[in-house]
Structure 1
């Protein structure tokens, strides 16, 4: 009986001893992110509290892409009548001015066309004189109607022929108004239609270029587009008319302003869609087709839960904010930042922070007090 009573007392003593130990461990665990200030410390720290709030915040969406020439700015140069390439004046990548000679072609058909025109012009002068003579005779009843009709038909036919030959000459850059017997030439020149850059050269000296052959591909750089890649999850943030700030990899410090003009409706194999932006003012900007560019678009996130940046403290690569529990007691809580704009940051885990008194000023002082407090 005495031994049984003694064993009961020992078990009871052990149980009573273990319970406070568990309470102490819990307290130490909770106190690792909690700091208690004295009244004097709190006063000197000048702590201010606030509650998390909703407001619009602008974030920056970073994009990448390439410069691209719109179809209307990519011009293929051909020769209307074809001919042998006598000389080439420009190489791929070279800049040119409007009216500058790109290449010179020669062919017998150029000579023949000029001959036909001058002959038609001379014959037309004779036909016109005969037409006027027959007209006067017919009015005076000195000539038959048949003769007048034949003279009229011959005159009209030569007018048509001369006009058609004039247009053919203009197609090969020969001015019919200045063409005379002494100016007949066997060569023609191909001229640049605008200021630009030679994209590609498809011919060489001595090669015959048929009328349907492309000799040059010219780029008009006045209206470059940016082909930007936007992933599917970000497409809803993009809209026509949004402003884009971009720079090339070649010259990253040279920024230029663009405007979104088109949004693709198909998704590429890499999960992105093509969004096109037009450069608003390209004067002084040195760009070429196919250059890599980086761009930034300002995106407005409506009704975002935000905190002031001064309330966020960083420690060991993570972000935290302090909550006021009661007088002089503060607890450090982890937060995840999604967007930053000037003095505000958007918080991902906002629901856990609502209806809490959060520290706006003095957060860094609380962090120092928490991490430098003596171990209990």
Structure 2
């Protein structure tokens, strides 16, 4: 009997021990496994590594904006393609690339030996004109007294008037070559011509070189008046209704540069760019002097944010508090924290206006009153919830 009793006690003891181990296993399993896919448990060591900062919403003056690409453009009316107005040999260059020139300033000197022929024709015709005028006056007097002299008078008049016409035409040609016919004498004949700048600006390209033989229309250089440099924003048709003249624009260099430029929309073009499938929106810098900034170059690209509306004070969080996943945007709040670690819950949110590192957030699920929201380290919490190991 005692043997059977001992067997029963031993069996009961084994059952109690087994149940205890099962309960302990279940407890450990519950502690290690989150309650749901939206719950993340971090150990004290992970909390130290994450350097999480908690907080809540703050009121911020935010605006809705439209992000676009932009390009620094100079209108064709502010670009001069300086060309040779006659054939000749380049005997002097007075400018070089990246130098500023004034309107009317000398760009190059062209030697044109056959220019002497035109000057010779003008001077010879000028002397002949004096003789022909004298002959005209003489035959005019004879014609008044003798009817038989009419034919000679008419010829003299025709020659004189023809010489006058030739003189005016030759004078006009000389002026095209920058020669004043009223001051031309045999003592100041010229064989060199000056090519001058039609506008003020910066020499952005040199085409001619010393000793080059130029023909009429050959390029010498390009001058750009960069004071009229302005950004052109490329806006897709679907967003065009949101954009209008007068809206402010924030411009910055690609790559996260801290340098920013303020501008405003000037006007919108009415045609779609065939290559980009966008509409060009022209803007102007608020500070006109920025166009002369050495870091701004024609054809350069900038990131642009068009301020669509000023929404006022909104409840916002730092942008790094919001994580983006395939199924939407989320934030984390802390349920509890103790010596064993902390539990975080993820809830979906809707984003709104943004600015200065903050973004308006509207929760799409219930948030406990006075909930502690993860402001910094949200992506670390998300990574742990997804089973991604963080580097030590």
Q: TM-score, normalised by structure 2?
A: 0.61
Partner of 1:255: 261
Q: Deviations over 1:55-80 (max 9, x none)?
A: xx842333333222222222222222
Secondary structure in structure 2 of the residue aligned to 1:177: helix
Match of 1:340 among 332, 354, 374: 354
Q: 1:83 aligns with which of 83, 88, 95?
A: 88
| Post-superposition offset of 1:313 | 11
Partner of 2:73: 68
Task: Find the aligned partners of 1:313 and 1:146 in 2 and give their Cα distance.
Answer: 101
Work out which of the residue numbers 291, 294, 301 in structure 1 matches 2:300: 291
Q: Can you list the C-alpha shifts for 1:189-225, whole angstroms capped at 9, x where unaligned?
A: 1111222112222222222101132222222323224
Unaligned 5+ residue runs, structure 2?
Answer: 1-34, 40-61, 324-329, 334-345, 374-392
1:186 matched residue in structure 2? 191
More divergent stretch after superposition (57-66 vs 194-203)? 57-66
Confirm or deny that 1:277 pairs with 2:291. Answer: no
C-alpha root-mean-square deviation of aligned residues, in Å?
4.5
Q: Spell out, residue by residue over 1:240-278, the C-alpha distance to the aligned partner (whole angstroms, 9 max, x if none).
A: 454445466799747353533343632555554433334
2:170 corresponds to 1:165: yes
**Runs of 5+ in structure 1 lacking a partner?**
1-27, 33-56, 322-331, 369-376
8 Å contact from structure 1 (residues 79, 172) kept in 2: no
2:227 matches 1:222: yes
Name the CA distance, whole Å, in 1 between partners of 2:278 and 2:362: 25
State the distance in 2 between where 1:293 and 1:178 align.
55
Distance 2:285 2:319 in 1: 40
Select 2:154's aligned residue among 136, 144, 149.
Answer: 149
Structure 1 CA distance for aligned equivalents of residues 144 and 150 of structure 2: 9
Relative to 1, partners in 2 of residues 1:299 and 1:130: Cα closer, same or farther, differing over 3 Å?
farther
Cα distance in 2, alignment partners of residues 222 and 180 from structure 1: 43
Match of 1:204 in 2: 209
The alignment covers a number of residue pairs equal to 302
Q: Tell me how far apart the structure 1 counterparts of residues 166 and 77 of structure 2 sit (CA, whole Å).
A: 34
Which range moves more in the overlay, 109-118 or 307-316? 307-316
Distance in 2 (CA, whole Å) between partners of 1:257 and 1:124 is 64
Structure 2 distance, partners of 1:143, 1:282, is: 78
- State the 1:181 CA deviation: 1.5
Partner of 1:97: 102
Residues of 1 paired with 2:262 and 2:145: CA distance?
Answer: 78
Q: Deviations over 1:69-125 (max 9, x none)?
A: 222222222222210111222222222122222111112222212222222222223
Deviations along 1:133-177, one digit per CA (max 9) or x if unpaired, are: 444444555773333332332222222222222222222222223
CA distance in 1, matches of 2:297, 2:320: 44
Residue pair 1:319, 1:336 contacting (<8 A) in 2 also: no
Task: Tell me how far apart the structure 2 counterparts of residues 218 and 161 of structure 1 sit (CA, whole Å).
Answer: 37
Q: CA 1:119–1:340 in structure 2 vs 1: closer, same or farther (change >3 Å)?
A: same
Q: Relative to 1, partners in 2 of residues 1:101 and 1:229: Cα closer, same or farther, differing over 3 Å?
A: same
